[in-house]
């Protein structure tokens, strides 16, 4: 009989209970025992939800207090010395160790004068989830050190559940980490690491576990040869440890690692047939049928209902070949889905009927299993018919396809993505009109989001503050921001973004084709969650979205006011996208809507418009072979949004990260007149990429890090810019912070900007 399982379930809770408990614990408002209780209750509830939905094998080990990679790091004893004063009497890590590694050591949990910085946070493959990067030293040792997984297995057994513990595989774990201190190859640590895996498997065996899921998502990446051979080595060694092992791969296809994956000496393989349906056929041909084949056909990363009949058709050949050895699953862990659609009491019923969150996805996996095992079983035919009806109702719905959007898409010409003149000519016209000094100073857009601003926005949203009063409140914030910028002597001003809750949601709320949930939270990192908007239909712009605010701001000053928009690629990356049209088409639709906004701003007399593309780099596919395709449409979408304007209108873009080497050509191809980027944390190193390739347009390399309240002094910023001047001609350089200032408070913001303006003046006099 085919079996239903999930690769993992969201741990945050339908009401973000874990978030609330964690934050209360960190503030000292919740005792550790109470926090433990919240965790235990969430685990129990999540197992029961999955079981009730029909899942046979329940995941354990998907719960984490902060991050599953961090839990595994503790389990393996990879604890950098700077956190050792949080260990207990037996030199074992504690919850305080875990939180110190996640958030940095503060006075409350360790000796304040150690003030240890947290481990680095980085994106989990191509998702918006962030994990804590393990730090390996050259003499790294590993020791089983943390009981959480075993305790949770006991907990689940005590509740009568049949479980499948989930652990991160040894190769993926090493791959995700970083060598610290000396230069060495972290793959050299494998032989030292494997015995601890052996120990973990032995312990689980003693607890009566039958199957373990070993996550090796790096099998879907372009792997260096050494790593591929290490897979064979590692799993041959682990072969002698007990338990049936299911190696889980997800987020992309196995491709050139397919031969390797199917021949590992393990008992089962999971593949992601949502991201790469083609690989299913190849795996059917090559995976020995005495092994378990687990097929993920219910998408763990999006919110749409699964097309059950289509999925069933894909599963049928697998069943013919694998029979009872076929398992049905989600494509990846449900960590990346919102928890429960049933909570959404305000969603439009038609739209709601098209969606499935984690709980509903478990039900879909179970239906697929039942349909394979016994198509006549009660409920199966109804479920299939319901799914069919949903697809039909969607196809027939008038709200998805908009003829006017289709017509505009069809009418796009190559000229639409082309500024009228090349940069060299444009910049002359812009300089003549803008009359800015050398090293012009500006900021990235947002100013501090004070409690007063948030309160006003909330009150307005809940109908407690009239539109007029809200407008007055925002206008007064804009006046405040403009006054300060004038007083400080900045050259290009911004209105400060007080009216924006979030750089994507603000625009999504004003576009047609977007829907919003009340509880559709997905964990981003630790206690942080995001609630992405859902693109359900063709995107259009009923009216101007920012023009009134920016025009008001420009009216307050003779200086240049920069308009501020979120770009099409970022809008798409930070939303749940449609699955019935390509990402390229959705980006084009967004680009057309933004293009109209850019033109309306120009029409309103705004001479500089910034189009933020914070998510441009992260949209890059996992496999290099797919990069060109992505970069092609991403660049085109940006250009489509930006290219309607006259030569005199200056287009800025902003990207707040520092790994540009891979995408520098594409960034140049975006052809923004000015790009502001993050550089201060890398000591301007990043500019090497821009120099090596001779980036042609203007650049504002961020001169200070806005992620910390620290106020950098003028000399420091001058020193950084002096490095920049060695690489980029001075007349093409701008001076600005790394990113938006919304998370900062006013005192440090003003102090830092005073110094920044002073640095610009100093540089100008040096230049003269």
| CA gap 73, 525 in Å, rounded | 16
| Binding positions for Zn ion, 641-660, rule CB under 5 A | 656
- Nearest approach in angstroms of CB 677 to Zn ion is 9
Binding mask 138-177 for Zn ion (x = CB under 5 A): ----------------------------------------
Which residue number places its CB atom closest to Zn ion?
A: 656
706, interface contact from Zn ion, ligand GLN, none, CB < 5-8 Å by kind: none
308, interface contact from ligand GLN, Zn ion, none, CB < 5-8 Å by kind: none
- Nearest approach in angstroms of CB 655 to Zn ion is 7
Q: Which is nearer to ligand GLN, 426 or 742 (CB)?
A: 742
Q: Which is nearer to ligand GLN, 600 or 613 (CB)?
A: 613
Q: Could you tell me where the beta strands, DSSP code E, fall in 438-502?
A: 492-493
Q: Which is nearer to ligand GLN, 293 or 444 (CB)?
A: 444
| CA gap 300, 607 in Å, rounded | 44
Report the residue from 243, 702, 740, 759 that binds ligand GLN according to the rule CB under 6 A. 740
Q: Which is nearer to ligand GLN, 177 or 740 (CB)?
A: 740
CA 448 to mean position of chain CA atoms: 23
Number of Cβ atoms within 10 Å of the Cβ of 369: 25
CA 548 to mean position of chain CA atoms: 31
Q: Does 109 bind Zn ion (CB under 5 A)?
A: no
Q: Which is nearer to Zn ion, 362 or 672 (CB)?
A: 672
Output the DSSP codes for 202-250: HHHHHTT--EEEEE-GGGGS---HHHHHHHHHHHHHHTTSSSEEEEE--
CB of 83 closer than 8 Å to CB of 97: yes
Listed residue (267, 271, 301) closest to 10, CA to CA = 301
553 burial class (0-12, 13-18, 19+ CB within 10 angstroms)?
A: buried
Q: Which is nearer to ligand GLN, 62 or 505 (CB)?
A: 505
- DSSP label at 441? B
666, interface contact from Zn ion, ligand GLN, none, CB < 5-8 Å by kind: none
- Nearest approach in angstroms of CB 728 to Zn ion is 20
CB of 574 closer than 8 Å to CB of 128: yes
CB of 519 closer than 8 Å to CB of 468: no
3-state DSSP call for residue 60?
strand
| CA gap 505, 60 in Å, rounded | 34
CB of 701 closer than 8 Å to CB of 733: yes
Binding mask 526-565 for ligand GLN (x = CB under 6 A): --------------------------------------x-
- Residues tagged active-site: 707
| CA gap 201, 212 in Å, rounded | 8
CB of 644 closer than 8 Å to CB of 408: no
Report the residue from 654, 686, 689, 763 that binds ligand GLN according to the rule CB under 6 A. 654
- Nearest approach in angstroms of CB 587 to ligand GLN is 18
Report the residue from 522, 651, 739, 753 that binds Zn ion according to the rule CB under 5 A. 739
CB of 448 closer than 8 Å to CB of 744: yes
CB of 74 closer than 8 Å to CB of 137: no
CB of 350 closer than 8 Å to CB of 291: no
- Counting every residue written for the chain, the total comes to 768
Binding segment for Zn ion (CB under 5 A), chosen from 446-454, 521-529, 593-601, 737-745, is: 737-745
The count of residues interacting with Zn ion (CB under 5 A) is 2
CA 179 to mean position of chain CA atoms: 24
How many helices (H) and strands (E) the chain has is answered by 27, 22
Binding segment for ligand GLN (CB under 6 A), chosen from 68-76, 119-127, 452-460, 738-746, is: 738-746
Report the residue from 57, 196, 292, 444 that binds ligand GLN according to the rule CB under 6 A. 444
Q: Does 295 bind ligand GLN (CB under 6 A)?
A: no
564, interface contact from Zn ion, ligand GLN, none, CB < 5-8 Å by kind: ligand GLN
Report the residue from 635, 656, 724, 752 that binds ligand GLN according to the rule CB under 6 A. 656
445, interface contact from ligand GLN, Zn ion, none, CB < 5-8 Å by kind: ligand GLN
| CA gap 247, 729 in Å, rounded | 52
CB of 635 closer than 8 Å to CB of 670: yes
Q: Does 490 bind ligand GLN (CB under 6 A)?
A: no
Binding segment for ligand GLN (CB under 6 A), chosen from 261-269, 273-281, 637-645, 736-744, is: 736-744
220, interface contact from Zn ion, ligand GLN, none, CB < 5-8 Å by kind: none
608 phi and psi angles, rounded to 5 deg: -130, 130
Q: Does 577 bind ligand GLN (CB under 6 A)?
A: no
Q: Which is nearer to ligand GLN, 74 or 590 (CB)?
A: 590
- Nearest approach in angstroms of CB 45 to ligand GLN is 34
CB of 165 closer than 8 Å to CB of 158: no
Q: Which is nearer to Zn ion, 493 or 739 (CB)?
A: 739
Listed residue (289, 342, 281) closest to 315, CA to CA = 281
612, interface contact from ligand GLN, Zn ion, none, CB < 5-8 Å by kind: ligand GLN
Q: Which is nearer to ligand GLN, 212 or 614 (CB)?
A: 614
- Nearest approach in angstroms of CB 742 to ligand GLN is 5
Q: Does 446 bind ligand GLN (CB under 6 A)?
A: yes
CB of 232 closer than 8 Å to CB of 264: yes
Binding segment for ligand GLN (CB under 6 A), chosen from 313-321, 641-649, 708-716, 739-747, is: 739-747
The count of residues interacting with ligand GLN (CB under 6 A) is 13
3-state DSSP call for residue 179?
strand
Listed residue (398, 412, 397) closest to 585, CA to CA = 412
742, interface contact from Zn ion, ligand GLN, none, CB < 5-8 Å by kind: ligand GLN
721 phi and psi angles, rounded to 5 deg: -70, -30
| CA gap 361, 50 in Å, rounded | 9
- Nearest approach in angstroms of CB 564 to ligand GLN is 5
Q: Which is nearer to Zn ion, 74 or 620 (CB)?
A: 620
Q: Does 568 bind ligand GLN (CB under 6 A)?
A: no
Q: How far apart, in Å, are the Cα atoms of 683 and each of 13, 657, 699, 755? A: 40, 13, 15, 18
- Nearest approach in angstroms of CB 567 to Zn ion is 12
206 CB-side CA count, 13 A: 8
Q: Does 742 bind ligand GLN (CB under 6 A)?
A: yes
| Binding positions for ligand GLN, 494-523, rule CB under 6 A | 497, 503
Contacts of 11 (CB under 8 A, 6+ apart): 18, 42, 43, 46, 62, 63, 64, 335, 523
| CA gap 552, 556 in Å, rounded | 7
Q: Which is nearer to ligand GLN, 503 or 593 (CB)?
A: 503
Binding segment for ligand GLN (CB under 6 A), chosen from 292-300, 438-446, 535-543, 584-592, is: 438-446
Q: Does 612 bind ligand GLN (CB under 6 A)?
A: yes
- Nearest approach in angstroms of CB 634 to Zn ion is 17
Listed residue (209, 196, 212) closest to 161, CA to CA = 209
| CA gap 162, 152 in Å, rounded | 12
Q: Which is nearer to ligand GLN, 131 or 574 (CB)?
A: 574
- Nearest approach in angstroms of CB 497 to Zn ion is 12
- Note the residues at the interface with Zn ion (CB under 5 A): 656, 739
- Note the residues at the interface with ligand GLN (CB under 6 A): 444-446, 497, 503, 564, 612, 614, 654, 656, 739-740, 742
């Amino acid at each position: 009989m085919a079996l239903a399982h999930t690769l993992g379930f969201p741990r945050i809770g339908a009401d973000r209970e874990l978030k609330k408990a964690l934050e209360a614990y960190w503030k000292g408002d919740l005792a550790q025992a109470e926090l433990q209780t919240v965790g235990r209750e969430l685990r129990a509830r999540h197992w029961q939800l999955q079981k009730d939905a029909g899942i046979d094998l329940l995941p354990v080990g998907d719960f984490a207090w902060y991050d599953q990679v961090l839990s595994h790091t503790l389990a393996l004893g990879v604890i950098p010395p700077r956190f050792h004063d949080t260990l207990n009497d037996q030199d074992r890590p504690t919850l305080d160790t875990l939180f110190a590694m996640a958030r940095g050591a503060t006075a409350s949990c360790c000796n304040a004068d150690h003030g240890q910085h947290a481990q680095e946070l980085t994106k989990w493959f191509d998702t918006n989830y962030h994990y804590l990067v393990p730090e390996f030293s050259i003499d790294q040792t590993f020791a089983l050190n943390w009981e959480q997984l075993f305790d949770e297995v006991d907990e689940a057994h005590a509740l009568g559940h049949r479980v499948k513990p989930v652990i991160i595989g040894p190769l993926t774990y090493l791959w995700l980490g970083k060598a610290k201190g000396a230069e060495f190859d972290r793959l050299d640590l494998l032989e030292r690491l494997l015995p601890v895996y052996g120990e973990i498997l032995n312990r689980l065996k003693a607890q009566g576990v039958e199957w373990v899921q070993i996550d090796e998502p790096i099998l879907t990446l372009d792997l260096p040869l050494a790593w591929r051979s290490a897979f064979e080595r590692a799993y041959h060694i682990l072969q002698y440890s007990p338990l049936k092992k299911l190696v889980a791969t997800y987020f992309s296809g196995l491709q050139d690692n397919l031969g390797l994956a199917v021949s590992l000496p393990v008992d089962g393989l999971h593949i992601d047939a949502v991201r790469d349906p083609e690989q299913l056929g190849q795996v059917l041909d090559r995976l020995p049928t005495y092994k378990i084949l687990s097929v993920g056909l219910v998408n763990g990363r999006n919110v749409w209902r699964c097309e059950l009949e289509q999925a069933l058709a894909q599963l049928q050949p697998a069943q013919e070949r694998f029979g009872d050895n076929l398992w049905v699953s989600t494509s990846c862990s449900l960590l990346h889905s919102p928890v429960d659609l049933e909570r959404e009491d305000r969603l439009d019923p038609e739209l709601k009927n098209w969606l499935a969150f984690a709980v509903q996805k478990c039900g879909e996996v179970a239906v697929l299993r039942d349909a394979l095992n016994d198509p006549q079983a009660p409920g199966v035919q109804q479920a299939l018919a319901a799914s069919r009806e949903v697809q039909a109702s969607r196809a027939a719905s008038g709200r998805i396809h908009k003829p006017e959007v289709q017509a505009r898409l069809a009418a796009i010409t190559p000229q639409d993505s082309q500024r009228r003149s090349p940069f060299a000519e444009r910049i002359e016209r812009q300089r003549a009109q803008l009359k800015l000094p050398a090293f012009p100073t500006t900021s990235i857009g947002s100013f501090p989001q004070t409690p007063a601003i948030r309160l006003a926005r909330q009150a307005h949203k809940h109908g407690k503050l009239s539109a007029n009063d809200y407008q007055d409140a925002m206008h007064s914030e804009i006046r405040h921001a403009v006054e300060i910028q004038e007083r400080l002597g900045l050259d290009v001003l911004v209105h400060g973004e007080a009216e924006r809750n979030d750089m994507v949601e603000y625009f999504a709320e004003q576009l047609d084709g977007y829907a919003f949930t009340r509880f559709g939270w997905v964990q981003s990192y630790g206690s942080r969650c995001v609630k992405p908007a859902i693109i359900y239909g063709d995107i259009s712009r009923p009216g101007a979205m920012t023009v009134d605010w920016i025009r008001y701001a420009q009216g307050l000053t003779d200086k240049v006011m920069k308009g501020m928009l979120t770009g099409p690629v970022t809008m798409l990356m930070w939303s749940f996208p449609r699955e019935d049209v390509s990402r390229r088409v959705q980006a084009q639709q967004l680009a057309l809507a933004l293009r109209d906004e850019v033109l309306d701003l120009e029409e309103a007399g705004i001479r500089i418009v910034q189009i933020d593309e914070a998510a441009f780099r992260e949209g890059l596919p996992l496999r290099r072979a797919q990069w060109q395709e992505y970069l092609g449409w991403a660049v085109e979408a940006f250009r489509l949004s930006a290219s309607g304007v006259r030569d005199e209108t200056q287009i800025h873009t902003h990207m707040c990260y520092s790994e540009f080497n891979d995408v520098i050509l594409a960034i140049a191809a975006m052809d923004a007149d000015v790009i502001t980027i993050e550089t201060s944390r890398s000591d301007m190193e990043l500019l090497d990429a821009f120099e090596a390739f001779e980036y042609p347009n203007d650049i504002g390399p961020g001169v200070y890090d806005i992620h910390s309240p620290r106020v950098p002094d003028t000399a420091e910023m001058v020193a950084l810019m002096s490095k920049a001047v060695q690489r980029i001609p001075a007349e093409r350089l701008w001076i600005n912070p790394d990113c938006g200032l919304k998370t900062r408070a006013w005192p440090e913001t003003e102090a830092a900007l005073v110094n920044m303006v002073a640095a610009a003046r100093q540089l100008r006099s040096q230049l003269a």
